Structure 1
Amino acid sequence: MNRTSIASILVLPVLALSACGGGGNSDEDKVRDVVTESGKTPSKLCDNLAAAPLKQIGGKDKCLEAAKGQKGTDVKIDSVTVNGDKATVKGGGGGSSSGEIKLVKEDGDWKITLES
């Protein structure tokens, strides 16, 4: 997979969404924090990506390489839905149309996944 396609997989979905911050202890707050952090600082996505998609793109080093030079953005989160160990974040802005990010809980932490 070339650098451009890795960057598309990693950065574009996350940049479609980021939040205004949270800092609380609820699962919804934690999900918001993961999306916010990943949107504002694209290299943080490499820490917040679930194991399967991280492996799919070639590991953390490839992820960090793809994140270099990417600009973060703030985009409004319209809703967060948590259902057990899965979550969906919907929102848009920053010149992007409305989008959706899926997260899963891995080892107690919320991680961004590419699965639907």
Structure 2
Amino acid sequence: MKKLATSLAAVTLTIGLAACGGSNGPEDAVNEFIAAVKDKDAAKTCDLLAPENKKQVEQLQQGSCEEVMKKGLEAPVPGVPLENSNATVKDSKVDGDNATVTVDANGQTSDIKLVKVDGDWKIDMFQSLGG
């Protein structure tokens, strides 16, 4: 089960979550996440996750979100180059406190789901994975 959650975290990170400064909109949050992944910044990746996602990660892995993400960033899924990901935001749609950001990462297009929490956009990792 731990391997599954770590793999899910690594896959989610790889499919194109993002990199910049301040999350004013959903695209900014995705860009920040991509940057955190490239920098292997486990604390920042956790900060950008929706609170429910953090709880789920911690329950599945029986450890802190930061510990789980650190493992996922250090030992990513084989064949998934996190540092070399050329993720580009292609589109975004906002519907109230929910958003979908379409990202192209290394030729693969993915939809990243986000939720607005206390005025900040957060990645909804499990919705992005279809869960």
Sequence identity percentage:
27
Shift in alpha-carbon separation, 1:23–1:55, aligned structure 2, 3 A = closer
User: Aligned equivalents of 2:4 and 2:39: distance in 1?
Assistant: 19
* Matching residue of 1:50: 50
Deviation readout 1:35-82 (Å, 9 max, x if unpaired): 433442342322211111211111323233332244332212211112
Aligned pair count reads 113
In the alignment, is residue 10 of structure 1 matched against residue 9 of structure 2? yes
Q: Give the stretch that moved more between structures: 23-32 or 103-112.
A: 23-32
User: Aligned equivalents of 1:79 and 1:88: distance in 2?
Assistant: 8
Structure 2 residue identity aligned to 1:74: N
Any stretches of 5+ residues in structure 2 without a counterpart? Answer: 59-63, 77-81
Which residue of 64, 68, 71 corresponds with 2:70? 64
Note if contact 1:34-1:110 (Cα within 8 Å) is conserved in structure 2: no
Shift of 1:18: 4.2
Deviation readout 1:7-58 (Å, 9 max, x if unpaired): 2221212321145x66587424533433433442342322211111211111
* Matching residue of 2:100: 88
Give me the TM-score of the superposition, normalised by structure 1. 0.73
Give me the TM-score of the superposition, normalised by structure 2. 0.66
Shift in alpha-carbon separation, 1:85–1:8, aligned structure 2, 3 A = same
Structure 1 residue identity aligned to 2:57: I
Shift of 1:91: 2.2
Alpha carbon RMSD of aligned pairs, Å?
A: 2.7
Any stretches of 5+ residues in structure 1 without a counterpart? Answer: none
Note if contact 2:23-2:29 (Cα within 8 Å) is conserved in structure 1: no
Partner of 1:57, secondary structure, is: helix
* Matching residue of 1:74: 86
* Matching residue of 2:28: 30
Q: Give the stretch that moved more between structures: 77-86 or 26-35.
A: 26-35
Shift in alpha-carbon separation, 1:24–1:53, aligned structure 2, 3 A = closer
